Chain A
Amino acid sequence: MWQWFHKLSTPKYYYQWSGKWLPWLAGLTIILFAIGLYWGLLVAPTDYQQGESYRIIYIHVPAAWMSMFVYVVMACAGFVALVWKTKLSEIVVSECAVIGAVFTAIALITGMLWGKPTWGTYWTWDARLTSELILLFLYFGVIAIYSSIEDKRVAAKAASMLAIVGVVNIPIIHFSVNWWNSLHQPNMDIISDKPSMDPSMLWPLLVMAVAFKVYFGWVLFMRIRNEIISRERATKWVKELVVGR
C-alpha cells in the first residue's frame, strides 16, 4: 500500500490517476446536489419555529463543516510537505487554501442571510459566525504568505508551516470565542451544533454534506492538475500531453 501511495505522490502518475476519476467526481457531485436540493427545498417539512428560512442550513451548515474540514486537510498536506517534501502535497496546501476560503466565505454570507429573517440583523457576534470569520482570516494568512514568496517550493513550505500553526490554534480560538460569547451574550443560537431536528429534515443535510465533499474532491483535483501542468511545463511528459491533446 505504501508503495502505491508513494508512487501517487509523483506529479506525473497522479495526473494520469486523477484524470480517470474527474468525470466520476463531476457526475457524482451533480447527482448528489440535485438529490440534496430537491429533498431539502421541496420534500423537507416547514420548520414550526423559523418557517421556510431554515432551509438555508442545507448550504450554510455543509459549507461551515467544509471550511473546517478543508483546513484540516490543508494542515495534514502541510505536515506531509514538511516531513516528506513531496511536490504533490505542497501543491495540495496552496490549492486547499483558496478552496477553503471560498467555503468559509459561503458559510459567512449564508449565515448572515439566514440571520436576517431569524434574528432580524445580518450580523450578530454569534460564537459560530465569529469563529467562521476568524477562520477566514487564517485562510487569508495562508494565501497571503504563499503568494508573497517567489520560489513556489519555499512558498508552499511556509504556507504549510502556517497551516500547521493555524490548525493547532483553531480549537483554542474556538474555545475562547465560545467562552467570550457566552460571557457577553445570552445564549441565542437556535440550532445547536448537532441539529436535533427530526430525520426528515436531517437526511437532506447529510446528502448535501456528502455532495459538498465530493464537490471538494472535484475542484481540488482540477486545481492540482492545473498547478502540476504549470509547474512541470518544462518536462517532457507535459509537452507530449499538450501536443497529443
Chain B
Amino acid sequence: MVSAVVFIPLCAALILLFIPREEEEITRRVAFGATVLTFLLSLLLLVEFQSDTADFQFVERFSWIEDFGIQYAVGIDGISLFLVLLTTLLMPLVILSSWDDIHKRVKEYLFFFLLLETGMIGTFVALDLFLFYVFWEVVLIPMSFLIGIWGGPRRIYAALKFLLYTMVGSLLMLVAILYLAYLHHAQYGTVTFDLLQLHKLTIPPETQIWLFAAFALSFAIKVPLFPLHTWLPDAHVEAPTGGSVILAGVLLKMGTYGFLRFAMPLFPAAAHAAVPVIMALAVIGIIYGALVAMVQPDLKKLVAYSSVSHLGFVMLGLFAFNVEGVEGALYQMLNHGLSTGALFFLVGVIYERRHTRLISDYGGLWKQVPVYAAVFLVVLLSSIGLPGLNGFVGEFLILLGAFGANPWAGVLGVSGVVLGAVYMLWMYQRVMFGPLRHVENTKLTDLSRREVAVFVPLLALMLVMGMYPKPFLIRMEKSVEATLARIQLARPLPDPTTPGVERAGDRDAIQEVSHSATD
C-alpha cells in the first residue's frame, strides 16, 4: 500500500507523456486526479496506523540488487506518517493553484511535479539507505527544472546553485553510506543497507564523528542550517509559486527528517558530541533568519528567511534530545509546511495579479481585498505561533524541550518568538494597512473560488492542529520515544558543568521510556 502511494504519481507522470500537448485541461485534470488519489490513499494509511507501537508499519520489502545487499524496503512509522500526509496534501493544492498561474508548457510542469512527489514520498518511506539516497537525489532534478524553466529572471543561477549545493552534501553522504555498508560487512559478514540492520552496528566514536559529519552536512544544507542557507532565498525568489510551496513545505523537512531518522540514531555518540555546535547554529539561524527577514524588500525573500528561522526552531527541538523537544520539532515541521506553504500561495496570488514582489509596491490592500487580507492574517498568526493556532503548539514544545536540555538555548530561542512577530507584522502593515497609495492596487480582484478552495483545507488544518493536537502527537509518541531511547543509551556521562535543569529528572524519565521501548 505504501508503494502504491509512492508510485501513483510516477505512473500519472508517465501517462501525462502520452497526452497531446494542446490538451492542457485534460493534463491538468489527470494530474490533479492522481494527486488527490494519492492523498486519499495516504489517508487510508493514517486510518490504519496503530499508534501504540514504535516499529515500522505497512513494511514492504523485496530484493532489488542482491549483489550489494540492496532491498526495496519501504515502511512508515510515527515520524514519517505525517510528513507523507503533508506531501500528499500540499501536492493537489499546488496543482490546483497552478491552474491559474501556469500557462506555458503545462504538461512538463505537471510532469516534473508528479516526479517530484514520488521522490519526496519515497524519501520519507525508504527504510533502505540506498533507496533513501536514490529518492533523495531524484528529488533534486525535477525541482531544479521547475526553478530553472518556470522561474523568475535569475532562475538559472538559482537552479544551478540549488542543485550543486545540495549535491555536494548528498554525495559526501553517499561515501558515508558506503562506509556503513562496509562496516556491516566487516562486523556481520554481509553487505546491507537496511536501516534496522545498520542499527545493530557498533561504531567506534571517532569514526562515528566523521560519519555523522558527512550525514549532518548533507542534511544541514537541506534544512538549511545557518551558514549553509544562502541557496534558499535565491531558490525561493526565483521558483514559481507551486515550486516555492513545495520547496518550503516539504523539501526542507527532508533535511530535518534525515537528522531524526538517520543521523541521530545511527551515530548516537557523535550526535551527543555535536549537540552544542548544532544548537548554537540553530539558535543563530533563528535570530539571524528573523533579523535578515525584517529588512527584506522582497516578499518572497522575507518568507524564505522566515523559513530559515522556523527551521532553526525545528533543529533546536530535535537536538534537545527529549521527547517534548523532538515531538515539538516534528509537529513544527508540519506547521511550517502548512503556514509557509500558505504564505507562498498568498504571495503567489498577488504576484499573479501585480507581477511584483516588492513590499513597497503594495499598501492598504485590506480595503481592496478584505477576504485575501483576512486569510493572510490568519496564516501570518499561525506562522508567528499565536496560541489557538498550530504554530504555537509546535513552538511551545520546542522551546520547552530546548529549555530543558540547555536553558540558554531556550532563552535565545524565545527571542525568535519576539522577532518573528516583529518582521511578520511589519510586513503585514506595509502590505495591508495604510492608505491605497498605488493606483494599480485599486484594480486588484479578491480571491477567486478556486483560490479559496486552496486555502480552506490549509486554514482548517491550522485551526484543528492548534485546538486539538492530541491525535497527531499520540501517533508520533511511540516512534519518537524509541528513537530517543536509542540515542540516550549512548549518552556520554552528563558532566555537571553542562547546564541542564532537567538532568536529574530526566534520567529516571529516560529509564522508564527506554524500558518501554526495548521490551
A and B: partners?
Answer: no
B residues in contact (CB < 8 Å) with A: none
